[in-house]
Amino acid sequence: MRKIIIDTDPGQDDALALMTAFGARDQLCVLGVTCVAGNVPLELTSVNALKICELSGFFDVPVFKGSPAPLKRKLITAEHVHGKTGLDGTELSVERKEIEITSAIDFIIECSERYKDDKITICALGPLTNIAKVLRENPRVTESIEEIVLMGGGFFEGGNITPAAEFNIYVDPEAAKIVLESGVKITMLPLDVTHKTLVQRDFLEKLRKSGKNSAIEAAKLLDFFERYDMEKYGSKGGPLHDPNVIVYLLNPAIYSGKLVNVEIEVNSELTRGMTVVDWWSVTNRKPNTYYINDVKYDEFFEIVLNKVLNLET
Ligand code: RIB
Ligand code: CA
């Protein structure tokens, strides 16, 4: 059982990632969900995390509030993609769960001390502010982190919030720089791979016809989420970004990429948050990231569907 912490800014695709992880309880032990401002402000991302835990029937997993803003910059959000609530497309409520008193940063530090021997994996689905704060304030945490698997960046695919940058990195480029320079094992799932996991029609149909409330609500979330990208890219489905982080943990063999150097642009406004990927090793910069650029499409959706339908609610 791999012990993981999911750091997230729900967001409909974050929701599917959480549901995929919760449905894989025989393989993943979710120690906690830590929330960060990103797609929508922290007040909403934290409530949204509670909503998804309850929707999934996962009442025992603790949810923590983290950073309300990037390390240095003003928060930029993405209501144009996710809607005002961050989970538009559904009318979910919170009946029982509450946000923990402990802060997200303190929780991650406590976990790294408690599981020093087992090691923990951090799954980062939003801006990297929380993770950067932990690494900056407690460098020894790196001894307890097996790997940081993050959704973020883009190179051959360009950007989605500016021509040069992907949203999670763009929101807090300084945090991304701290994470990439930490020496921790990093696996990055950028737009180069997540733009290959466009939601399939029959995948949505199987969710809708499952007779399971969580799967039916998941389909509603995706119906709303994918409209933006389908209009922008003229694609036949929306990119299911964040579940790639969880599916990678469940079956890395369906992914391929390369160990390369990735640097983050933090000075230029034009290319702020760009992930500068030395894919062809044209510099002597030290490789610091396993950069993934391909995935087996059918296997990906089979795993997400299987795990979401494995939820008890
Ligand atoms: O660029 C896509 C990423 O930004 C995803 O994690 C999405 O949820 C948003 O956070
Ligand atoms: Ca996200």
**242 close to ligand 1 (CB < 6 Angstrom):** yes
Q: What is the pLDDT of residue 114?
A: 96
Q: What pLDDT, in 10s, does the model give residues 27-43?
A: 999 999 999 999 999 99
Q: How far apart are CA 31 and CA 58, in angstroms?
A: 12
Q: Is the pLDDT of residue 234 over 90?
A: no
- Helix, strand or coil for residue 98? coil
CA of 141 to the centre of ligand 2 (A): 23
Q: Which atom of ligand 1 lies nearest, measured to the CA of 126?
A: 10
Q: What DSSP line would sit under 247-288, residue for residue?
A: HHHH-GGGEEEEEE-EEE--S-STTTT-EEE-TT--S-PPP-
Q: Is the pLDDT of residue 231 over 90?
A: no
Query: Residue 78 phi/psi, 5° resolution?
Result: -135, 50
pLDDT tier for residue 236 given thresholds of 50, 70 and 90 = confident
Q: Which atom of ligand 1 lies nearest, measured to the CA of 151?
A: 6
**7 close to ligand 1 (CB < 6 Angstrom):** no
Ordered domains of the chain (ranges, CATH): 2-197+240-309 (3.90.245.10)
Ligand with minimal distance to 39 CA: 1
**125 close to ligand 1 (CB < 6 Angstrom):** yes
CA of 282 to the centre of ligand 2 (A): 31
CA of 242 to the centre of ligand 1 (A): 7
Q: How far apart are CA 305 and CA 219, in angstroms?
A: 11
Q: Which atom of ligand 1 lies nearest, measured to the CA of 168?
A: 4
Q: What pLDDT, in 10s, does the model give residues 194-208?
A: 999 999 889 999 999
Q: What pLDDT, in 10s, does the model give residues 85-107?
A: 999 999 999 999 999 999 999 99
Angle between helices 297-309 and 243-250 (to 10 degrees): 90
Average pLDDT, integer, range 272-278 = 98
Q: What is the pLDDT of residue 227?
A: 87
**9 close to ligand 1 (CB < 6 Angstrom):** yes
Q: Which atom of ligand 1 lies nearest, measured to the CA of 9?
A: 10
User: Which residue among 80, 82, 195, 241 is the active-site one?
Assistant: 241
Closest residue to atom 1 of ligand 1, CA basis: 167
Told to judge if 241 belongs to the known catalytic residues of this protein, a careful annotator would answer yes
CA of 39 to the centre of ligand 2 (A): 7
Residues around the ion ligand 2 (C-beta < 5 A): 9, 11, 14, 125-126, 242
Structure tokens at 218: 């998941």
Q: How far apart are CA 186 and CA 274, in angstroms?
A: 17
Q: What pLDDT, in 10s, does the model give residues 137-165?
A: 998 999 999 999 999 999 999 999 999 99
